[in-house]
Copies of this chain bind each other. A is one copy, B any other.
């Protein structure tokens, strides 16, 4: 049974969790992108409108992350009808909050709803990855948590390589996004090509402590482990304005750790309560306010749900 239209929410995601470069990620409750899909008589994908991107995203469906994902789902079923997409971008672009993944996932889930839900989330993964790949390569570190929700361990691009882990009960996050674009390609280019074996051992130990803490429901140990990254953050820190000051301010406000969200520039404070997360968000915002750097701050819990259909008919 096909639907004529569907509206889908796909959450912001935070990749890396500090020490878990390229392998760990989580879904936030808010914010998220919304994609509306409408059934067309003609085949193919059309992008009718994009709201909230300041005109920065391409409307060419063959190049737009949502357009590519939508086409990929349609191909799975070889239907002769098409879809018209409207994107409501509520995630800032190139900010380390998984903006392209959210649009790709939302489009894939919306087309699936239009088609009458023939596919599971696992079956939609390749289409969402196709969309993400249109702008940043085949990585599931944002697509995984965006599609499935929760805290995810991503060790490949097949759904069997994506594991959901428990969400520590007390975990609350505070994010601040300064108005400075850090393209993922630049954030990758500053990384070292090789790592001393000794540093690799420290990194594996920190990752192990992080997973252990997640399963033990220990937010304090989780935060400590996340912040123990001795490889990625030192290489990228200079791209993140006032990282040191933001960290100090967040911790004074009660945060347990501050890490770079994805490739940045969003910074994320790990907290053990909602009051601490709110206070940390305000404190981080103050640092940028005082430096006259425009920014947006938020607080959120981890969402156990991934992308979801808001309405379909």
Contact = CB atoms under 8 A, between A and B. Distances in A.
Interface of A: 19-24, 153-155, 163, 165, 191-197, 200-212, 215, 231
Contacts of A155: 202, 205-206, 208-209
A158 to B, nearest CB: 13
A205 B141 CA distance: 12
A195 B196 CA distance: 6
Copies of this chain assembled into the complex? 2
Given A21-B204, A154-B205, 13 more contacts: A23-B201, A23-B204, A153-B208, A155-B202, A155-B206, A163-B209, A193-B196, A194-B197, A195-B195, A200-B231, A204-B204, A204-B207, A211-B211
Given A200-B203, A203-B200, A231-B200, A24 B163 contact: no
23 contacts: A21-B204, A22-B201, A23-B204, A153-B205, A155-B205, A163-B209, A165-B212, A193-B197, A194-B194, A194-B195, A194-B196, A194-B197, A195-B196, A195-B197, A197-B231, A200-B203, A203-B204, A207-B207, A207-B208, A208-B211, A211-B211, A211-B212, A215-B215
Contacts of A209: 153, 155, 163
Contacts of A204: 19-21, 23, 203-204, 207
Closest 3 CB pairs of A and B: A155-B205, A211-B211, A215-B215
A150 to B, nearest CB: 13
Contacts of A197: 191-195, 231
A20 to B, nearest CB: 7
A206 to B, nearest CB: 7
Nearest to A204: B207
Contact of A205 (B23, B195, B200, B202): B23
